């Protein structure tokens, strides 16, 4: 197993919480950070795609500026985001996957997010799930 930390990123507080935790873990492990963003494509308008790409470029620049070895993978190929994240983690022989969770109602907690649940069940390495503050 490598020292790579793979983090699933989305725009919003959950994505930022995942990045913060992943950076902390990457620094602790003296490893490499792989940021994965995945969308099925076709549902976003052009301005949203540009915003996401700009946010990913800013994120990569900021994290690299902090001395981290960072790779960003942005997928728009019709796959389920879970499949993309699991595939990257496997190819990287990841030591850890980090994901952000949304706050949920008591009933929602019983069901958990379908993506989060699928990642927890399918991952071959430990998964750190964090909530936004």
For the chain, 133 residues long, the average pLDDT of each consecutive 10-residue run is 91 94 96 92 76 94 94 89 96 97 65 78 96 87
**Domain assignments of the chain as residue spans, ordered by start:** 5-131
Q: Give the per-residue pLDDT at 1.
A: 66
Tell me if the domain spanning 5-131 has CATH number 3.40.718.10: no
Contact 95, 83 (CB under 8 A): no
Q: Give the per-residue pLDDT at 72.
A: 97
Q: Give the per-residue pLDDT at 33.
A: 98
Q: Give the per-residue pLDDT at 77.
A: 79
Q: Give the per-residue pLDDT at 107.
A: 58
DSSP for the chain reads --S-EEEE--SSHHHHHHHHHHHHHHHHHT-EEEEEEEE-SSSS-HHHHHHHHHHHHHHHHHHHHTT-EEEEEEEESS--HHHHHHHHHHHTT-SEEEEEE----HHHHHH--HHHHHHHHH-SS-EEEEE--
pTM for this predicted structure: 0.89
């Amino acid at each position: 197993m490598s020292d790579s930390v793979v983090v699933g990123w989305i725009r919003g507080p959950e994505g930022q919480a995942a990045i913060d935790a992943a950076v902390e873990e990457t620094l602790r492990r003296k490893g490499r950070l792989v940021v994965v963003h995945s969308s099925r494509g076709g549902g976003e308008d052009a301005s949203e795609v540009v915003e996401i790409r700009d946010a990913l470029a800013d994120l990569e620049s900021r994290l690299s500026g902090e001395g981290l070895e960072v790779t960003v993978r942005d997928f728009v190929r019709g796959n389920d985001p879970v499949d993309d994240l699991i595939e990257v983690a496997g190819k990287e022989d990841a030591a850890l996957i980090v994901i952000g969770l949304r706050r949920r109602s008591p009933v929602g907690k019983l069901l958990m997010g379908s993506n989060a649940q699928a990642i927890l069940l399918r991952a071959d390495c430990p998964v750190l799930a964090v909530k936004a503050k």
